[in-house]
Structure 1
Amino acid sequence: MSSESVNISQPQSLISRKYLIISILLSLATMAGVIYWTYTPGVLEFLSKSRLPGLIIALVVSLLRVWFSAAKIRFLSEKKLDWYASVRVVLAWDFTSAVTPSTIGGAPMATYAMTKEGLKLGDSGAIILYGVLLDQIWFALAIPILLVSGIFYEVVPPEIGLVGDVSMGLLYVGLLSYAGLLAYGVLVNPTAIKRVVKFVFKLPVLRRMGDKVEEEAENLEEYAQQLGQKPLSFLLKAFFLSTMSWLARIALPTIVVLSLLPAPEVLSVLRSLAMNLAFLVVPTPGGSGGVEGLFVLFQGPLISREGFIGLAVFLWRIISYYISIGLGMMATTWYVNQKVVEIKAQD
């Protein structure tokens, strides 16, 4: 619950121009380096026009990811949020995630956005928790798939060596442990979450916000209990929407690679799944620099012409990152403008 320490009453406080600049510069620098080291003069002559429409499919899949994420948010809010509001929340969440370190993430902005759409802060926090839980359940199921697949495929590239293998193993253990703790807190004992929130806001630097947070912690506990009491069909539908969003995210790198050259489809998808899990622990704003490097490590060896590796990274980041930044910036600006209108109305 560390994200609650951010002042969500001011949307500007959730976004750092410094992090935005760092994120974009790291991404551009890494892509430039990959292109410089892998580009071969004349390689573009080997592009197959019959494969290029795959980039349109990649764009559609990227938009489908947003749609499924919005559908999940709308479903968890029990349709208190309409489609436009749900899409705005997801776009603002994506944008903030793309320009902040992974330790902060987009959850504070998503919480703020939902409160501006008319939900209570406690309800918004519970929806975020439940959404994160669904993601963690998905990770917990994906890890056995990767472990079993590793018997038949080189899911983890041998290029990353022993350190990489150990790191991936620790990541798997960490994700499974976190999923278990979160499931206990949200589905079994929401009171534990409330106690953690109250404890955190007894710290000297946060104590001044304690009274308001204590009230919202009660709302969070109540709504978490309501979600926990939902029938299994509710959890399954929400999990389906979460899964479809993640499958779209996983499919994107493979679709981009196949839009340029033939590649082993199954292995590419499995490596995309593994590298997306690895993205979760990249500490830079939006994972920039690290995610491009992981793409090269996991997908690069599958690209038969080395000169296409830089192009694949570039196209993938344009579709998955830069378009998200553009759309997310518009959604976030909308919330900032709404705050300005509220202040003027109060004056």
Structure 2
Amino acid sequence: MSSSSENISSPLSFLSKRYFIISVSLSLFTMAAVIYWTYTPGILEDLKPKRLPGLFLALVVSFLRVWFSAAKIRYLSEKMLSWIASFRIVLAWDFTSAVTPSTIGGAPMATYAMSKEGLNLGESSAIVLYGVLLDQIWFAMAIPILLIAGIYYEVVPPAIGLVGEASMITLYIALLSYAGLLAYGVLVNPSAIKKVVNKIFKLPFLRRYSTRIEEEAENLEDYAHSLKQKPASFLVKTFLLSTGSWLCRIALPTIVVLSLLPAPEVLSVLRSLAMNLAFLVVPTPGGSGGVEGLFVLFQGPLISRASFIGLAVFLWRIISYYISIGFGIMSTTWYIKKSVDKNQVAE
């Protein structure tokens, strides 16, 4: 199996200290503002010890999310990636997603990481595309659930207003359209992906890469064709793994809230699903600032004591964001070190 990692830019080319600082600063500032406005002296005395084990459950669910994602990548690679490699890739992917704008995301890092684990660029790109497609299929199925549930539950908080509701509907339409286009490219006509890639690299500022990209686009098309020819059971299993990852992500805010106070469980889960879809369009690095605000907007009204809202946001972000950043830094540093060591040997 040939490696083409030399054709892929170092992660330092799409990671930025500025984005990292902005992401963490926005998160800390927003959490501090929420805690300041909702804090009541003696709040910790009102915590019920019998509920606190829920925070341990939240940690377990957070780990399961990573496990499902790693299992999906390993299965998509037809087990060419080891379990350790799959975990490293997911953690590096999560970290990059957490500290870069949504327009960049973690896909470039995931592609780079897979190449360092021995896959070529075409295989890595196809796996990332297929993984993204599975997510989009899941979103496409989740949207009707939210629309039907909205008949019986106040899924969209009244505070969001008509503009917010219109924005959510626009988001739903955009996600469904994107899912349809991606499904066509990956499952029906993989050659369309190659044509799009080649056209992009005909642009003046990318033309110098066009020759080697054409070769890798062929690899991508070939691997996409091989994925397309997989039996339905292959798609079902990978979809279930993707679903497991997203269910863990959606359950996490509700588990954190219930670890502090009673809340309407079904409504909390539905709002968690809606706000996770809204996270996709927050433009700041890692969604920082925006995701904390959306948590307050969607989950805040369900928390009976306003003084607990800041604590809930803090605990949720520690588990879902800061721990992920910590492990992600270690994984990303491993890949950077491997790249540096290789360059030193080459010299």
| TMscore range, shorter length | over 0.9
Query: Which whole-Å CA distance do the structure 1 matches of 2:344 and 2:29 have between them?
Result: 42
Letter aligned with residue 249 of structure 1: R
Corresponding position of 1:249? 249
The match for 1:4 is none
AA paired with 1:284?
A: T
CA contact (8 A) 1:8 1:14 kept: no
1:245-296 Cα shifts (integer Å, max 9, x gaps): 0000000000000000000000000000000000000000000000000000
TM-score, structure 2 length as denominator?
0.98
Q: Distance in 1 between matches of 2:10 and 2:225?
A: 29
Question: What CA distance in whole angstroms lies between the structure 1 residues aligned with 2:204 and 2:138?
Answer: 37
Which secondary structure does the structure 1 equivalent of 2:151 belong to? coil
Question: Deviation at 1:229?
Answer: 0.8
Where 1:151 maps in the other structure, the secondary structure is helix
Q: What whole-Å deviation, never above 9, does each CA across 1:282-322 have from its counterpart, x for those lacking one?
A: 00000000000000000000000000000000000000000
Report the equivalent of 1:261. 261
> Which whole-Å CA distance do the structure 1 matches of 2:337 and 2:8 have between them?
15
RMSD: 0.7
The superposition leaves residues 36-91 of structure 1 with CA deviations (integer Å, 9 ceiling, x where unpaired) of 11111222211000000100000010010000000000000000000000000000
The aligned amino acid for 1:170 is T
Percent of aligned pairs sharing the same letter: 77
1:237 maps to what in 2? 237
Distance 1:326 1:42 in 2: 31
Contact 2:8 2:121 in 1 (8 A): no
Instruction: For residue 277 of structure 1, give the secondary structure of its aligned residue in structure 2.
Output: helix
Q: State how many pairs are aligned.
A: 341
- 1:163-191 deviations in whole A, cap 9, x for unaligned? 00000000000000000000000000001
Counterpart secondary structure, 2:152: coil
Q: Distance in 2 between matches of 1:11 and 1:262?
A: 43
Say whether residues 1:123 and 2:127 are aligned partners.
no
* Displaced runs of 4 or more, over 6 A: none
Cα distance in 1 for residues equivalent to 2:254 and 2:88: 27
Show the counterpart of 2:216.
216
State the 1:11 CA deviation: 1.9
- Alignment partners' CA distance in 2, 1:118 and 1:238: 21
2:182 counterpart of 1:182: yes
Give the CA deviation at 1:8: 3.4
Give the superposition deviation at 1:14: 2.1
Kindly provide the amino acid, as one letter, of the partner of residue 80 in structure 1: M
Q: Does the alignment pair 1:304 with 2:327?
A: no
Q: Which residue does the alignment assign to 1:63? A: 63
1:102 equivalent in alignment to 2:102:
yes
- Structure 2: unaligned runs, 5 residues or longer: 1-6
